[in-house]
Amino acid sequence: MLGGSFWIALLRNAMGAALILGIFLLLDRPRFPMKKMLGYYGVFGAAAVGAYSVWYMVDVEMFIRLSGLVTIPVLGIFCFVLSADLFYLSVYKLTLGFYMLSVTVFLGVDISRLWFHGNMWIDIALRVVIEMGIMFIVAGKIRPRFHQGRTYLAEVMDFPSAVTLIIIVLIAATIAYWPDHHTLSVSRVIRILILLVMAGIIQWMTFRMYLYRGREFYWRFEKELLEMNELLLRRQLGMFKAAGKEKGNEERICTNAAVNGICAAYETYAKEENIQVDICADIAENIAVREIDMAAILVSIFEKAIWDCKMSGEDDMRIRLIIAQNRGKVAIRCENTCGQQQMRKAYFGDWDAKAESVRKVVDYYNGEMERVTEKSVAISKILLDISMRQDDRMNV
């Protein structure tokens, strides 16, 4: 700490509070709307900065020794109360913000003392530049990664992880804030900087370890579900092929056995529900799409189309399916009768929930999928890019 008047202390404290609260809010899942959250943060931040500045004027020595460590519980309680995240996830956000503040204070004070004769304006200018750089990195790099991994982190972060993070940030705080009367030198600054870098690396590796542990947990869970789903689809695929063979070649829809079997089976099912079906399938006998993947797509499309028709309440129910192949692309388009606006709203989200396995298949083939409604007609569109898969098959 390089001293200064009450207003200088107020400025420093405001910068520190803005950094910690800003990082926490960027990474947080707020409990209230953002406008209200900004109001709460602003009022609390102003009150905390004022109290800290008064403390600085009353007892500078005690402020220098304890202000950094007292910041953790003071800001922590406020942030935890307004956060909708789990406790251990909030601990990480708080410790990250406080670690960044410790680095900022150390660099501002020691660089000013080492090369600028302890000029407090140099200290403040350095803090401004460093904090702007930190906020830019947090907003552009850390925030997207953190939000993407929030579910994974919340699943596996626990008491040991929180203790580890708190210990690391206490080490950083001790390095940055503890008064030191030793002779200032470049070697000493470098040693302290190395300790801060090591503390930061440990904190980052702790985050990555729990992130990947969480991902592994979910991937293992999804793998088990997909294996069961694939087993079910394989059995259905066998029945569809058998149903297609029983119909005979005179009713053959296309040359692809898997597509023909599925379409034939669902055409029969739809007609039993008094739904008119028109299928046009122009697709090669052997394409670079696994039969199990094609089954997942067509079963999902047909099930949803038949459900929409049955729930529409219309007398004239229709399904029109087009499957076309052009070079390295496979396009699937299904149009079907659906209900009025309120009926579509009631079941639109349900299709998205049940189509997750289809989305994974479409992503695997670098494709696109979309569902829209136009004048009581639901349209499902899927495009698969099989050009890379064809090249892989030719190279085998």
Give the Cα separation of 15 and 42 in Å (integer): 13
Per-residue pLDDT band at 345 (split at 50, 70, 90): very low
Q: Is the pLDDT of residue 282 over 80?
A: yes
Neighbours of 2 (CB within 10 A): 16
Reading the block at residue 42, the tokens are 């602003």
Strand-pairing partners, residue 282, are 324
Q: Please give the order of strands across the beta sheet that includes 317-326.
A: 275-282, 317-326, 329-337, 377-385, 368-373
Contact 292, 233 (CB under 8 A): yes
Contact 91, 166 (CB under 8 A): yes
Q: Is the pLDDT of residue 249 over 60?
A: no
Per-residue pLDDT band at 333 (split at 50, 70, 90): very high
Task: Give the residue with greater pLDDT, 105 vs 242.
Answer: 105
Task: Give the residue with greater pLDDT, 321 vs 188.
Answer: 321
Most confident of 19-28, 64-73, 198-207: 19-28
Give the Cα separation of 292 and 299 in Å (integer): 10
Per-residue pLDDT band at 174 (split at 50, 70, 90): low
Q: Please give the pLDDT value at position 177.
A: 57
Q: Please give the pLDDT value at position 243.
A: 62
* pLDDT tens digits, 76-99: 888 888 888 878 778 888 888 888
Query: Can you tell me the mean pLDDT for 183-204?
Result: 76
- Percentage of the chain lying above the pLDDT 70 cut: 80
* pLDDT tens digits, 25-70: 888 888 888 888 999 999 998 998 999 888 888 888 788 777 777 8
Q: Please give the pLDDT value at position 172.
A: 64
Q: Is the pLDDT of residue 334 over 60?
A: yes
Per-residue pLDDT band at 321 (split at 50, 70, 90): very high
Span of 2-6, 85-89, 358-362 with lowest mean pLDDT: 2-6
Give backbone dihedrals phi and psi of 193, rounded to 5 degrees, phi first. -60, -40
- Percentage of the chain lying above the pLDDT 90 cut: 10
Calculate the average pLDDT of the chain: 78
Query: Can you tell me the mean pLDDT for 270-287?
Result: 87
Q: Please give the pLDDT value at position 91.
A: 81
Q: Which residues contact 10 (CB under 8 A, 6 or more apart)?
A: 49, 50, 53
Query: Can you tell me the mean pLDDT for 359-381?
Result: 85
Q: Is the pLDDT of residue 163 over 80?
A: no
Question: 67 in helix, strand or coil?
Answer: helix
